[in-house]
Amino acid sequence: MEYLPTIRQLAYLKAIAEQGSFIRAANACNVTQSTLSAGIAALENLLGQTVIDRSRRQIRLTPLGQDVLRESRMILDHAANITARARMMATPLSGPLRMGIIPTIAPYLLPQILPALQDDFPLLALQIREEQSADLVQQCRDGALDVIILAFPYDMPELESETLYDEHFYLACPQGSWPNRATGARLKDLDETQILLLEEGHCLRDHALAACKLQPRRSRDIFNATSLQTLIQFVAHGYGMTLLPESAVTWGSLPAGIDIVTFAPPQPGRTVGLAWRRNHPQQPEFAMLAETIRRVTKLASGR
């Protein structure tokens, strides 16, 4: 019988490649560093070649190591599919589920859905990671995340998706600054130089620009914020106005000094949805997850 690399050895190699160090990889795998090193040494003895270049301070894979890593990811993904299918047959949405979510959704949506998920799926061990859209899509493609929640439209050709809910944008202004709140705001009346945006990389920035047909201006760059909460504070202190998603208005806590103005039709907005790798074995479970989220968000928004 031919001796083959073990799942554990391949998992060790993948962890080293992702973590960039033996210590962090061992922690990620919940083993000692000596155990992980021994596993890699056994893999190299089996192959008769080194897979990690140890001649430099920074951990790097050899050309063969890169080839083995690509195959390892596919093998580990298939192995995970086997256990996921078995677990799903026994109890849907039980065990660990790695979910990513973008920062402009997480603080508003998670408090709404987490209690319901715990009630509906008590054996679900949810592991949540908050990152920007590009990072989440990449991690989902690579198998580091099972499912992600982000705002559409977003280019992700290798992933499948399902809509959770649509939400409008509202105009957030310094208190008393909008001339007539009763008639609402019109997109053509917006002053581009006064619109504050998140920094580049946040999809909410792109969606706001697209929805309002605006172009980014250098005069606004000094106010580009890294979080929606920072942007809200800028508005509260009179530095300008911004667009807020409905979830931030309905489920968030806005400070004093801000007026929320509804847009006159057609109201700009965005779609929030769930995405996962194509042909993922837990796709039926993701549909159940989506249904719970839709039920809760519908109740919470009063629709």
For 128-142, the pLDDT digits (tens) are: 999 999 999 999 988
- What pLDDT sits at residue 88? 60
pLDDT band at 200 (very low <50, low <70, confident <90, very high): low
Q: What pLDDT digit, counting tens, does each position of 75-127 carry?
A: 887 787 777 766 665 678 888 899 999 999 999 999 999 999 999 999 899 99
Fold entry, domain 7-86: Arc Repressor Mutant, subunit A (1.10.10)
- pLDDT band, very low/low/confident/very high, at 41 (cuts 50, 70, 90): very high
Least confident segment among 42-51, 53-62, 193-202, 242-251: 193-202
What ranges do the domains of the chain cover? Answer: 7-86, 88-164+272-301, 166-269
Beta strands in 112-241 (DSSP E): 124-130, 147-152, 159-174
Q: What pLDDT is stored for residue 211 in this prediction?
A: 67
The dihedral built from the CA positions of residue 63, 68, 71 and 73, taken in this order, carries a sign that is: negative
Query: Do 46 and 5 touch, CB atoms closer than 8 A?
Result: yes
Pick the closest to residue 173 from 196, 207, 142 (CA basis): 196
Residue type at position 125: A
Question: Please, what is the Cα angle at 101 between 97 and 106, to 5 degrees?
Answer: 115
pLDDT band at 217 (very low <50, low <70, confident <90, very high): low
User: What's residue 62's pLDDT?
Assistant: 92
The pLDDT, as a whole number, for residue 182 is 67
Over residues 40-67, mean pLDDT:
89
pLDDT of residue 220: 46
Block residue for tokens 């929030």: 272
Residue 276 to residue 282: CA distance in whole angstroms:
9
Q: Going by CATH, does the domain composed of 166-269 fall within 3.40.190.10?
A: yes
The third-level CATH classification (topology) of the domain covering 88-164+272-301 is D-Maltodextrin-Binding Protein; domain 2 (3.40.190)
Among 270, 281, 276, CA closest to 109: 270
- Average the pLDDT over 153-157 and give the result: 87
Looking at the DSSP assignment, which residues form a beta bridge with residue 70?
Answer: none
Please check whether residue 29 is in contact with residue 98, taking contact to mean a CB–CB distance below 8 angstroms: no
User: With the C-alpha atoms ordered 235, 238, 242, 247, is the resulting torsion angle positive or negative?
Assistant: positive
Q: Do domains 88-164+272-301 and 166-269 have the same CATH topology?
A: yes
Q: Which residue has the higher pLDDT, 28 or 217?
A: 28
Q: Residue 302 has what pLDDT?
A: 47
264-302 pLDDT, tens digit each: 888 888 899 999 998 888 888 999 999 999 999 985 554
